[in-house]
Amino acid sequence: MLAFIVLYAVILVVLGAVIGRRAKSASDFFVAGRNFGAGLLFTTLIAANLGAGSTVGVTALAYTHGLSAWWWIGSAGIGSMVLAFLVGPRIWRIARKNNYYTLSDYLDARYSKAFSGIISLMMAAGTLALFAGQLLGIAWILEVVADVPKAQGVIAGAVVTTLYFAAGGLLSSAVVNILEVAVILAGFVIACPYVLKFSGGLEGIRSAVSSETYFDVFGMGSSAIVGYIVMLVPSFFISPGLIGKVFAAKDERAIKVGTAMNGLVQLAFAVIPVVIGMACCAKFPGLARADLALPTAMKNMMPFWAASLALAGIFAAEVSTADTVLYMLAGSLVNDLYRRFVNPDIADRKLLLASRVTSLVCGVAGVFLALRLESIISALTIFYSLMSVSLAAPLVFGLFTRRAGNAGAVLSAVLGVGLTVYMTFWGEGWSVLGVKLNAPTCGIIFSCGVMCISAILNAGERD
């Protein structure tokens, strides 16, 4: 199996390097020349969204909580539909008119340079945690199926992802994503029947797991489910990485069709890792950590050829999302911070070189962080919480009302994040209609309230 993965990794790097030779400008690196049709936009979005959280992470949630783990990917699919029909087309028109490369370019023009700088700093910190989470997913897989130590697995994932992305940015990753998506979907669709058969089907799982809530779609509890919905639905229509890919679309039809297809596939795909996690719990209860559920199922519950394809699919899922994360990091650090605040007159070719070098440096930093994190879901929660709390209210209000002003945007982001941090370490959360809200949910609600009050009092102007 390890030889199969090594060969697959080499193919990804070589393909990325070949395509990367076409990237001659910063526009090619960040928005791929704004020439994505619906098909290419779909593949690059779904490749970004089916990563460590949607595979290893959701299987781990299902191993522990059962059917209700569906809400993680389900929430992401709902958010993708909002991006397809509400947020995406509207912000694309503005970006195309003003030649914006990143979401921060829009926030700078809509609010202020200071606000976009604050958001870029927050996103850089949170995105590095997200990248580390993808590397952890690769490491857990390699550890179980090939006895590769965690540190070596993390480094291997970082090397593959960083090399092919740094070559050509979004242009390289979009083409590589076509191969990755085909492998991801084939691997998981083929794996699911074998895992079910091994566990005796749904009846076999029911007989092995006695908990009634395990088979309830609301089994993990209203507080957890509401927390996922509030945190993840906005994350998938405000993410700088996903919006940056939308900026690369050639027209609004491509955005609506490609992004909606991505959302529908997410909603359907959500069932597969849930079934695998539940089946693994039935046959292999008491694993040392839940994150090992997916690789354990793959190693023990299917024939070698299917396990090899599933392994390639999982590896592709983690790598494809990791390249999107590097895209976000390069955008935040180089375009949104360095060019805007340090060197606004930088030449286009130097901006391209800086983006490639920054991608390599972030790859190294991600390795060090991944070696200190224990759980994929914990790594992803850091990112999604930070992004939703700081960005959801300013972006949505900024796009849909003229009354959204800079002061309200800054206050909503800073106070929302502040409240989230306070409740995470010292508070107990709010209770609404009997539902206990977690810290990120309270932060998002509070930031939206601040933005709403500011909009009522303010008569700012929108682009």
- The residue-averaged pLDDT of 296-306 equals 86
User: What's the pLDDT band for 461 if we cut at 50, 70, 90?
Assistant: very low
Q: Between residues 127 and 168, which one has the greater pLDDT? A: 127
- Cα–Cα distance measured from residue 87 to residue 373, given in angstroms and rounded to the nearest whole number: 33
Half-sphere exposure of 75 (CA within 13 A, CB side): 20
pLDDT on residue 460:
45
351 pLDDT above the threshold of 90: no
> Who wins on pLDDT, 227 or 142?
227
Please, which pLDDT band fits residue 107 given cuts at 50, 70 and 90? very high
Question: Using an 8 Å Cβ cutoff, are 270 and 73 in contact?
Answer: yes
- Give residue-wise pLDDT tens across range 240-268: 889 988 998 999 999 999 999 999 999 99
Q: Which of 22-31, 36-45, 66-75 has the lowest mean pLDDT?
A: 22-31
**More confident call, 128 vs 461:** 128
Q: Which residue has the higher pLDDT, 199 or 135?
A: 199
**Confidence category of residue 383, pLDDT binned at 50, 70, 90:** confident
Find, among 384, 341, 339, 326, the residue nearest to 126 by Cα: 384
102: pLDDT strictly greater than 50: yes
| CA-based radius of gyration for the chain | 21
Give pLDDT tens digits for 214-245: 999 999 998 899 999 999 999 999 988 899 88
Which are the contacts of 381, defined by CB distance < 8 A and separation ≥ 6? Answer: 231, 440
pLDDT bucket at 111, cuts 50 / 70 / 90: very high
pLDDT at 41: 92
Q: Is the distance from CB of 30 to CB of 175 less than 8 angstroms?
A: no
Question: Which residue type does 210 have?
Answer: S
In the numeric block, the tokens 């370019």 are attached to 105
Quickly state the pLDDT bin for 201 (edges 50, 70, 90). very high
Rounded to whole angstroms, the Cα distance separating 325 from 266 reads: 19
Using CB atoms within 10 Å of the CB of residue 99, give its burial: 0 to 12 exposed, 13 to 18 middle, 19+ buried. exposed
Spatial separation of the C-alpha atoms in residues 362 and 357, rounded to whole Å: 9
What average pLDDT does the chain have?
A: 84
Look at residue 153 in the predicted model and tell me its pLDDT.
Answer: 86
pLDDT band at 463 (very low <50, low <70, confident <90, very high): very low
Is the per-residue pLDDT at 71 higher than 80? yes
**Residue 434 CA: distances (Å) to CA of 60, 214, 430:** 27, 22, 10
pLDDT of residue 108: 92
Look at domain 2-376 and name its CATH class: mainly alpha
Confidence of residue 168 (pLDDT cuts 50, 70, 90): low
What's the confidence (pLDDT) of residue 115?
A: 92
pTM of the model: 0.81
Average pLDDT over residues 314-321: 70
User: Residue 436 pairs with which residues in a beta bridge?
Assistant: 431
The candidate with the shortest Cα–Cα distance to 306, out of 400, 395, 192, is 192
Kindly tell me if the per-residue pLDDT of 19 is higher than 90: no
